[in-house]
Amino acid sequence: MHDPFGRPVKSLRFSLTARCDMKCSYCHKEGQRASEFEMTAPEIERIIEIAAMAGIVSIKFTGGEPLLREDIQDIIKSTSARIPDVSITTNGTKLAGLAVPLKSVGLTRVNVSLDSLDRTRYIELTGMDKIDDVLSGIRSAVSAGLLPVKVNIVALPDTPVDDIFATMEGAWDLGAIPQIIQQVGKSPDSSTFDSVEQIIKEKATRQIEREMHSRSRYFIPDAEGYEHEVELVRPMHNTRFCANCTRLRVTSDGHLKPCLMNNDGLIDIIGPIRNDATNEELLLLFSKAVNNRRPYWT
C-alpha cells in the first residue's frame, strides 16, 4: 500500500492497552484519546490477519504497557504466524519473567524505556522505584536473544547531558543499543537533544542512515577501538522523518490511526469486525486509513 504522497506502508504500531504501571511525566500515550476499552485477543488476531493481507511485514506492539496483557503470549504467537518481524516497546518492569517465553512464541526484538540510570531521577520521571526490575528485564532480553535490544532514552529539557551519556554507556554495558529520542510535543524544547547530538557527531567515527524515518545511527569507538552504536530519533519539525514514515497505527480501542500527532482520519475497524465484516470490507478500511495519511511536518 502507498499513501497519497507515495510513501509505502509496511509497518503497524499496535497499542494493546492504555493501562500502565508507571506514571512517566512525558508520556504521549501513543497519541490516543482516553479509553478504558481493550480488544480481545481474537479481535487483535483478525486485525493482524487483514494487515498481513494488506502487505504489512512488521508490527510493534505498544501500550500503555503491553506486558500487562495476560494474553500477551497468545497475541505474539498468533501474530508471528503471519508477520515476520514482531517487536514490543515496554517499560521493562515485567520483562525479566517474560523474555524467554515471548522469544519462544515468536517475538523478534524489544525496545525498553530507560531514561536515566540515576535512581532519584528515574523515580522523578516515572513515579516508581522500579529501575532494578527494568535492568533485570534488559539483561533477560539480551540473554534470550531478543536482538537488537534497544534502550529508549528521551532527551528531556531538564535532563543533564552527562546523565544521558551515562545511561547510553550503561545500555552498552548491558549489551543493548541506546536510542536517544527527541521529546514529542507541539513545540518541544530540543536544546538537550541538540547538545547530545552534537557531542555524538564529534565522537563518532562513522554514521549510517536508516531507511525508516531517516534515523541516524552513529558508531563511537571506546579506548580499545571497539565501536558502540547509538541511534538518534528526531521526529519533531523534521520533514525527512515524515517523508520516510512507513507506519500505520492501531489504537487500543480499535481504530486505525494515520499519525501519532493528531486524530485526523481515524477509521473504526473494531465495529465492523464485530458486525462480521468480510475480509474485503476490512481491507477497504485499511486502504481508507492509508489514504488519510498526511505528513505532519511538510
- Residue 138, pLDDT above cutoff 70: yes
pLDDT digits (tens, 9 = 90+) for 237-252: 889 999 999 999 999 9
Q: How far apart are CA 50 and CA 249, in angstroms?
A: 14
Q: What is the mean pLDDT of residues 241-265?
A: 95
Which strand (E) or helix (H) includes residue 162? helix 161-173
Indicate the SS3 state at residue 231: strand
- Identity of the residue numbered 3: D
pLDDT band at 185 (very low <50, low <70, confident <90, very high): confident
Q: Which residues pair with 249 in a beta bridge?
A: 13, 257
Domains and CATH numbers, the chain: 11-291 (3.20.20.70)
Residue 60 in contact with residue 150, Cβ under 8 Å?
A: no
Percent of the chain with pLDDT over 70: 99
Q: What is the mean pLDDT of residues 167-188?
A: 92
The distance of Cα 180 from the centroid of its chain, to the nearest Å, equals 12
